[in-house]
Structure 1
Amino acid sequence: MKGKKGKVLKVASLFLSCLVILLTGCTPANETSTKQQTTSKNSQTETTPAKAEPAKKKNGEKIVIGFSQRRVAGSDWYTNLIKGAEEEAKRRDVELTVLDAQGDVAKQVSGVEDLIAQNVDAVIMNPQDPSGVIPATTRLNQNDIPLIAVNSNLDAKANAVSFVSDDPRDTGYKTGWELAKAASEKYGDKVIKAAMVSGYPKELVSQYRRNGMISGWTDFMLEKYGKSNLNLVAERFGAWVPDKALPEMQDIGTAHPDLKVVFCMSDTMLPGIYTGLKNTGLNEKVLIGSIDGTKDAIRRILEEPKSGLVVTVSNDPRVQGADAVKMAIDVVQGKQVPSTHYIENPVITSKNAKDMYDPNSSY
């Protein structure tokens, strides 16, 4: 009896050991591996070391990176995107050449051709138009110069090695959800007349954020009331700058004096939104949801509840710029990089604004 019992225990033990190995070695490990090859995330609260080893090519030469920026003037966000890239390049002893396309697709294409002529090792591009820059990206491919897209998506034909950004659908979704929550607390399930101020027409990041915002709002209302109460009466385009957003917001406010909610796709347009609402007598009456997490937006949520801003979802340009440079360095050095790299995007409301606000921040 003892012999048979011992054999049964040994077989059972062996079976359990094999089962544990199979379970451990299959699902979790494979899922993690696949995700890391396609998408990665980086926390924006992570502090970057002050010093780092200089990044060199395999032959020991200095790495030269070109940065083709769609536009700089008028946008604090774009200024800080470049700042983040320049600081990371300096930290890694990399030469970074920044070209400002000034919102002109043709100028951006010719600028990339200039970078090719300068024999850069990689190019980072924030495209003015996802398809309009294809002539430039084709030339990069022909010259075997790797391309990193940052902030704005490129057409798939561009063959970018990696895309560094926030997750635009997710940032939009979080904004829409929190804005719906605030509207629910104020108006219940009444029909809400709303407007949206986006970046550019046909721009992918604007489309993704728009879809995310509407989805977030709809999901909240369906879960709470079993119906959608959103009456979206207008979408206008503010080109990511306050002076362009102002007249658009003013036109909407004039046409819809009973407006209750504004979806704003970027904190950089908020000053124009505020002025447009004030000029139409809607300031202190409209709830606003936005994206970016700028210092001023967080301060308004914290100190000025009458501004109407109830949520902003963080999208730190300094992190995007720095991470784009890191990706470019890795590619030049022959390392594998994720095809998509999303930075962290925490939600900021009155509940955590005090903890998120940094008066000494440059952004």
Structure 2
Amino acid sequence: MGTAFVACHRADDHQIRVTIVTKAMDSEFWQALRAGAEDAAKAHPEVGLSVLAPTREINIDQQVNILEDQILKGVSALAVAPSGVAEILPVLDKAHSRNIPVITVDTDIDWPHKLSYVGTDNRLGGKLAGEYIVKRLNGKGKVALIHGIPGVQTHEDRKNGFLDAIKAAPGIQLVAQQPANSERELALTVMENILTSNPDLDAVFITSDQMALGALEAIDAHHLIDRIITVGFDAGKEALQAVREGRLDAVVAQNPYKMGQEAFLAALKAAKGEPVAERIDTGTRLIDRSNVAMK
């Protein structure tokens, strides 16, 4: 069973019980999402909120177990950031069969019964990163891509948006594309391997902060911080500080706090049988040293 992170209310003591299941709770991103949900729930003392997560994003089986348990407990509504597709769909079908409304948050999924997706336009975010790198390289250079767990829609969209941007620049050569499963230590190793095979690398896009910070450690160890353009995704505090220091060139910013707020509110509406917007865009933009002070 995955580690449970329970939010500000005891869900079992309330008539309406909302559960948000994230992919993990080991990064600023997920902690901010939880905080947003908790703060939104404070205005609704009649609602019980639980925020639960597996110990690592790669532990999809733990997320499945958490969802199974919440369905058995008969929660009023679920908001889920799916860690996998094939593994998660059967349990979501089970929720639907028991008339438990399901919202997806952060990561969308192709499932006909979801009521709403709350999150970022990830493909646009990836495109912004790619366009930034193309511009910085004046349309010519060797680039790499480090992404999250293969098949997870969030990272697939960021990856594909990035590829859209660099395909529009014939002088850009993609020399490496590898997963690091949204884990900092694995990203360090992956970046080391990429640098060993491509010592003349010009830029790298990494599809989450955790992986970007790990990749930076490898780049720094090779004394290449000033030469390799590095772009991350999420805009947590540590990544923004790295942008201020000039170690990370740019980061695509999300708003996980708002995601948490909106996911809770959408799930609450669904639990009450009220209409919910099919898509709730929580915004995205690119931050570099020119505008990081405004963040």
Same fold, judged at TM 0.5 (above): yes
Q: 2:118 aligns with which of 164, 168, 182?
A: 164
Distance 1:83 1:261 in 2: 34
Q: Which amino acid aligns with 1:181?
A: K
TM superposition shift of 1:257: 0.6
Alignment partner of 1:90 is 2:42: yes
Q: Determine the structure 1 residue equivalent to 2:288.
A: 349
**1:117, CA displacement in angstroms?**
2.2
Distance 1:347 1:271, change over 3 A: closer
Identity of aligned residues (%): 26
Alignment of 1:275-286 (within 5 A): 275-286=217-228
Q: Write out the 4+ residue segments of structure 1 that deviate beyond 6 Å after TM superposition.
A: none
Counterpart CA distance in 2 for 1:104 and 1:268 is: 16
- Higher CA-based Rg: 1
Alpha-carbon distance, 1:195 to partner: 0.7
Q: Distance in 2 between matches of 1:127 and 1:199?
A: 13
Q: 1:256 to 1:353 in 2, by over 3 A?
A: same
Residue 91 of structure 1 aligns to a residue whose secondary structure is coil
> How many residue pairs end up in the alignment?
279
Q: Give, in angstroms, the shift of residue 284 of structure 1.
A: 1.9
Q: How many angstroms apart in 1 are the aligned matches of 2:182 and 2:261? A: 21
Asked if structure 1 preserves the Cα contact closer than 8 Å seen for 2:213 and 2:239, the reply is no
Cα RMSD over matched residues? 1.8
**Following the alignment from structure 2 to structure 1, what is the Cα–Cα distance between the partners of residues 242 and 67?**
39
> Separation in 2 of the partners of 1:231 and 1:107?
39
CA distance in 2 between counterparts of 1:98 and 1:151 reads 14
SS in 1 for 2:49: strand
Q: Deviations over 1:46-71 (max 9, x none)?
A: xxxxxxxxxxxxxxx74211122222
SS in 1 for 2:93: helix
Change (3 A) 1:277 1:172: same
Q: Which residue of 2 aligns with 1:181?
A: 135
Equivalent position of 2:241 in the other structure: 299
Q: Give 1:280's aligned amino acid.
A: H
**Residue in 1 that maps onto 2:8:** none
2:88 matched residue in structure 1 = 133
Matches within 5 A, 1:45-194: 62-73=15-26, 75-93=27-45, 94-102=47-55, 103-156=58-111, 159-184=113-138, 189-190=139-140, 192-194=141-143
- TM-score scaled by structure 1? 0.72
- SS at structure 2 position matched to 1:156: coil
Q: Secondary structure at the match of 2:176?
A: strand
The TM-score normalised by the length of structure 2 is 0.88
Q: What amino acid maps onto 1:257 in structure 2?
A: P
The correspondence of residues 212-223 of structure 1 with structure 2, limited to 5 A, is: 212-219=161-168, 221=169
Work out the CA distance in 1 between the residues paired with 2:108 and 2:293.
33
Partner in structure 2 of residue 250 of structure 1: 192
The CA deviation at 1:343 is 0.8
Q: Which residue of 2 aligns with 1:201?
A: 150
Determine if contact 1:129/1:203 at 8 Å carries over to the other structure. yes
Equivalent position of 1:16 in the other structure: none
The answer as to 2:278 corresponding to 1:325 is no
Cα distance in 1 for partners of 2:239, 2:71 equals: 39
Shift of 1:212: 0.7
Question: CA-to-partner distance for each residue in 1:241-271, whole Å, 9 max, x for gaps?
Answer: 2112110111111111101100111122222
Gaps of 5+ in 1: 1-60, 222-227, 357-363
- Distance in 1 (alpha carbons) for counterparts of 2:22 and 2:283: 22
Structure 2 equivalent of residue 235 of structure 1: 177
Which ranges in structure 2 are unaligned for 5 or more consecutive residues?
A: 1-13
Paired amino acid for 1:95: G
Query: Is the deviation greater in 345-354 or in 240-249?
Result: 345-354
The structure that is helix-richer by fraction is 1
CA distance in 1, matches of 2:110, 2:59: 17
